[in-house]
Structure 1
């Protein structure tokens, strides 16, 4: 399970929650790295988190040099990919992130690119079938959600700036209406004019805010925290990690059977203004940064940086 957030028209990132790592690294894909299966010999440079297999970056999330960001989140049971179709732009789901980030400078450009898209079920390799995902795409103005379902490719405006997992995105937007009474202010007595009821603790305006780790509850909680977050000038990055921290999964709270437990493997943040990718791993308090514009963007070879995972106190 995962949570993605955009914040302050500058920061975009996610928690990746799972029971095991797949050997992900921070990967910079330069402009001349070839993507022959997509017909892209040149493209925008990309920086983000990826599993590299056979010298190919299978991106989980990232941004490009133009300030467009994207993340794929688990969408099991609802994601449906199609067979290649004549007259369509047939892109395998595992190549979707570099296909968008490699060509587009904005969400608007991405929307136009999606109009003829057919996300296919072609596996990366026989032992690497397509992951069931949906995606959030964001720039410094707005964000959208892309879902490939039984009904076809769906593109939704995302006014909330948050995405989690199942159910499909329209459910999450509708479900928000149940929580319209929540507030960051001190609550008023609407129970009865005949009773002198007063709050006995700070924070009681948010009573009813879900506290579990289900995707539905994480959507509501992260949306509420994001909507009410306050950060001073220059402090948005720190606040962004606090937003993700509000839905972080501690080890031991979600059991998957056979001794497996879901945890937040890493939290990431793309600074879309400065081109910096920040991340924090579960076992390390410190935040590590990778700067896109300090790299050679014109090269042909992937630049792969292993994650810093050692304990940092």
Structure 2
């Protein structure tokens, strides 16, 4: 499934990048959601965005609202969902006096109503995630989320208990199951670092690993993709702004899931797109599977202030 990372270049400029590997029968594509957009929560009410959003999403079958998987808002806050099966705990019903959301709508709440990671964390304890179907989906999806903003503040939110909390992600990398703490322990074990806690020794070991040109793990397992991407990110000298986009796309290509045409009727579980978000420039770079070209779409002030309806870009 998906692989993501946050990154800061030599000038201090932050980025977010990811592969989208989630199987679906409707295409993922860039989508713009305006200020004041009323979106269905999947429950008995709708909510309305205060900030414009640009990111990767899709239109589910037989449903008129967009499902977002990642994106950035006009304030420079980014958020992405990744799959976390066998680890989440949602409420079965709405809870009075709280902000009730289905997991599929969590990104809309984050990006549509907040300007920073700190802003989200201030509200987080008030949120109830409810295990209800959203739109045309036939199941309630288990997610965890990676958030970052222009200050470089980056956290992961994992609903492993019904009370939502956030944790700093020192590796800057996130894939699917297991939870982040287990990923970090696996990384230490692979690098030969004692203990399960991420530390300066972990970073030093990653640098030595690349310097010695030791092999990196391969294959589609989330644990292997996490370790490979984390060693690249931690062990490589800090990239210049000119190096960021080609390097991050290359790292993501190494952990992308191949498209096998003869299997498409059975599974859409391949890398549908790679994306890079430039948080400072509020720009979304989108590279679909069937193209070698990166589409660059800025979220401009004009879009935020004068575009009043969603805009769904072509998938290619």
Query: TM-score over 0.5 for the alignment?
Result: yes
Q: What is the Cα deviation at residue 175 of structure 1?
A: 1.7
1:117 aligns with 2:99: no
Tell whether the 8 Å contact from 1:146 to 1:154 is kept in structure 2 after alignment.
yes
Secondary structure of 1:296's partner?
helix
Higher helix share: 2
Contact 2:30 2:286 in 1 (8 A): no
Q: Give the TM-score, by structure 1 length.
A: 0.83
Give SS of 1:306's match: coil
The reply on whether 1:212 has 2:216 as its aligned counterpart is no
Partner of 1:66: 75
> Aligned equivalents of 1:208 and 1:178: distance in 2?
15
Q: Is the 8 A contact 1:229 1:239 kept in 2?
A: no
Q: 1:50 to 1:259 in 2, by over 3 A?
A: closer
- TM-score w.r.t. length of structure 2: 0.83
CA distance, structure 1, for counterparts of residue 29 and residue 140 of structure 2: 20
Higher strand share: 1
Gap change, CA 1:56 and 1:136, over 3 Å in 2? same
Q: Which stretch of structure 1 is more off in the superposition, 173-182 or 265-274?
A: 173-182
What is the RMSD of the two structures over their aligned residues, measured on CA atoms?
A: 2.7
Residue 153 of structure 1 aligns to a residue whose secondary structure is coil
CA distance in 1, matches of 2:247, 2:264: 34
Unpaired runs of 5+ residues, structure 1, are 188-202, 309-313
Q: Which residue of 1 aligns with 2:7?
A: 7
Q: Which residue of 2 aligns with 1:32?
A: 36
1:15 positional shift: 0.4
Q: Equivalents in 2 of 1:39, 1:16: separation in Å?
A: 27
Greater C-alpha radius of gyration = 1
Tell me how far apart the structure 2 counterparts of residues 259 and 128 of structure 1 sit (CA, whole Å): 17
Partner of 2:201: none
Partners of 1:250 and 1:126 in 2: CA distance: 27
SS in 1 for 2:104: helix
Task: Tell me, in whole angstroms, the C-alpha distance in 1 between the residues paired with 2:37 and 2:145.
Answer: 23
Structure 2 unaligned regions, length at least 5: 193-204
Residue 264 of structure 1 and its aligned partner are, at CA, apart by 1.2
May I ask how many residue pairs the two structures share in their alignment?
291
Q: Does 1:265 align with 2:276?
A: no
Does residue 51 of the first structure (1) align with residue 61 of the second (2)? no
Q: Is contact 2:90–2:162 with CA below 8 Å preserved after alignment?
A: no
The offset of 1:218, in angstroms, is 0.7
Within a 5 Å distance, the mapping from 1:236-255 to structure 2 comes to: 236-251=244-259
Q: In 1, distance between residues paired with 2:23 and 2:37?
A: 32
Contact kept? 2:74, 2:282, Cα under 8 Å: yes
